[in-house]
Structure 1
Amino acid sequence: MTHSKRIDVHQHVIPPFWAEELPKHGGDPSGWNSPEWSPEQAIQFMDENQIATGILSLTAPSVTGWQGQSMIDMARKVNEYTAGLVQKMPARFGNFATLPLPDIDASLKEISYSYDYLGVDGVVLMTNYQGIYLGDESFRPLWEELDRRSAVVFIHPAKPPMPAIPGMPGPVIDYPMDTTRTAVHMVINGVMRRYNKIKVILSHAGGFLPYASHRFAELLPGLHPELSKKELIDDMRNFYFDTALSGSSVALNSLLAFAKSGHVLYGSDFPYAPPSVSTSFTNDLDNYSRYTGDQLNKINRLNGLHLFPRLMK
């Protein structure tokens, strides 16, 4: 079987102007260094890993270090830059639009511009904004508009509102935790049930969500009597999950036992995961021994085509 047409839903863009300005706007509070990146380097990595298309997103901290109009302007600049790459190479790149959150009004305008003028493939959200998680009532207008557009929403972890452990930058352990936090917050506040036209992708196999899903589903009805175990499990299984940094047999055993059929997607986390790390996890993914039927081909490409049908051309 060939893997030459992977769709990578977890690949990052680093616009040079954003990277240059980031240190002046708080840098990356997670403690992770920004790697070198160029479109040419991305294409080389993709070719070496049999990736046909990378859906590009701006990683944490996104544009949260900017303030007011400068935040709005930077989000627009990032989106237009990435859209330019897609226009030049539509088969090789896609675009998850960056939103100037937590400014809801400006973000609604950016959604409109990004879909109606840039033709984006979806949007990227951080797991929290200033410590506010995505199930919060303040995000209701955002979810309503994304649901109206049947949007693909890629959720990327951000630094949680707590100090990092010395010697352990956020991406090592805090990021999977924050993904789990926002996913459960969305479920208990009805986002996944109320806005059922959206397709929400969780990074890194959903953090700890698949592994701990039944723990959450057993405990939460005691705090939220209106929720049942079955409803909680159903809503958690409505997420999509990427395989970035999660191709090991240990992670896949849990993920594939939990996720709905068609809800697991290939992800590399390039370039923030070094190419050697991404390649190692990709090799693990390809050599996992417990797939059934066409499961690997679905993860690598077919499930992505369901979310991004333009790539069928």
Structure 2
Amino acid sequence: MDRIDVHHHIFPASIGKAGLSEKVGWRTPAENLPWTPEISLKAMSELGVKTAILSLPAGLPAGPVGPENREAARHFNEYAAQICADYPERFAFFACLPNLLDEPGALAEISYALDILKARGIAMSSSYGEALDASDDKFDPVWEELNRRAAVVFLHGNQTPSSTPYPHPFLGIPVTEVPNETFKAAAHLVVAGKKRRWPDVKIILAHLGGSTPFLAPRIAVLSKHMGCPLSHDEIMEDFKTFYFDLSLSSHETTLTAMRAFVDDSRLLFGTDFPAVSTEMVQWYTKNADAFYAGDQDSYEKVMYKNARTLLSV
């Protein structure tokens, strides 16, 4: 199978053997750390993945605006580009940007990453700085440039704690909070009119958009009541212009809901490896295989054809 995995992370050595556990409450599988391309290649072979699109976990590179943050983004992008050069049939990448509050730095990195390094798109976090949403007016010049380029954006929820106490140890921020941060970023883009303002940016929402397909109708009516100038139907239409990756989300329940929400051309295969084990990915992949059994056309679209069209891989 020629699956294309649009949600596949590079874990920098700085994350260390503990993975993300110390900060956000997640046990990265020990066998995936320290990460190397060879670890991913082994998993890809087991999962039937021909090509993985690499990206940093959301929130990285961390740090305030400044030369160190710019240098960290450049270092990652050049490292990712080198991996792709070493394994041209197996990897491509979404470039990261320095802190979006650094407008000149972000714009310069977009140009370098897309024009020189040939990144397939830009990975963005749901929030930056002092919890500024990705659609904040301060970031308009970045979005305008991405729209001018008709770029692909991979939008992933940030590791942001909720207002409630820290989640149960069996859950953790990546399990319960990150998908909802993805939804909130998507909702902000829609109700602020920016999804409509920048129609040529092609945005992929991680993890089936979190709660997006289930809460979009809530936004359509209640945000209109709160002053959003878009009609109920326009809000729903704008939510349906996102793309959605299947990572850690494939089940008969969720895929049935997505089929009622968008057509199959909006869905893309993803794994979230190496944050999770091959065995974990296999459970979700088995669910997707079973759901699309008997519908070969949709199956091929979701597994690789949509990504091939969107990302030219």
Q: Same fold (TM over 0.5)?
A: yes
Q: Give the conservation status (yes or no) of the 8 Å contact 1:151–1:199.
A: yes
Q: In the aligned structure 2, how far is the partner of 1:278 from the partner of 1:55?
A: 16
Higher mean C-alpha displacement, 88-97 vs 218-227: 218-227
C-alpha contact 1:27 1:65 (8 A) present in aligned 2: no
Per-residue CA deviations over 1:264-283 (Å, capped at 9, x if unaligned) read 00000001022211111011
The 1:182–1:220 alpha-carbon spacing in structure 2 relative to 1, beyond 3 Å, is same
Q: Distance in 1 between matches of 2:172 and 2:239?
A: 27
Give 1:166 deviation, angstroms.
Answer: 4.4
For the pair 1:119 / 2:128, whether they are aligned, the reply is no
Over the matched positions of the two proteins, sequence identity in percent amounts to: 34
Matches within 5 A, 1:244-259: 244-259=247-262
> What amino acid maps onto 2:104 in structure 1?
D
Within 2, Cα distance between the matches of 1:203 and 1:169? 18
Which runs of 5 or more residues in structure 1 are unaligned?
none
Could you report, residue by residue, the CA deviation over 1:210-260 in whole angstroms, capped at 9, with x for unpaired residues?
A: 122212112111012511011101100000000001111111111121124
Offset at residue 289 of structure 1 (A): 5.4
Note the C-alpha offset of 1:33: 4.4
1:5 paired to 2:8: no
Q: Distance in 2 between matches of 1:292 and 1:269?
A: 25
Structure 2 gap segments, 5+ residues each = none
Q: 1:30 aligns with which of 24, 40, 43?
A: 24
- Describe the superposition over 1:88-145 as per-residue Cα deviations: whole angstroms up to 9, x where unpaired: 2122101100101132221111111111211110010011113111221111001001
Cα pair 1:80 1:118 within 8 Å, conserved: yes
For the pair 1:188 / 2:188, whether they are aligned, the reply is no
The CA RMSD over aligned residues, in Å, is 2.1
Q: Which residue of 1 aligns with 2:108?
A: 109
- Number of corresponding residues: 304
Q: Distance in 2 between matches of 1:21 and 1:47?
A: 24
**Equivalent residue, structure 1, for 2:42:** 44
Report the Cα distance in structure 2 between the residues aligned to 1:46 and 1:66, rounded to whole angstroms: 35
Distance in 1 between residues matched to 2:264 and 2:194, nearest whole Å: 21
C-alpha distance after superposition, 1:153-173 (max 9, x if no partner) = 001111226463242311110
Which residue does the alignment assign to 1:235? Answer: 238
1:179-224 per-residue CA deviation (whole Å, 9 max, x = no partner) reads 1111000101122111111110000001000122212112111012
**Structural mapping, 1:102-181, within 5 Å:** 102=100, 103-130=102-129, 131-160=131-160, 162=162, 164-167=166-169, 168-181=171-184
Check 1:69–1:162 CA distance in 2 against 1; reply closer, same or farther (3 A cut).
farther
Partner AA of 1:165 in structure 2: P
TM-score when normalising by structure 1: 0.91
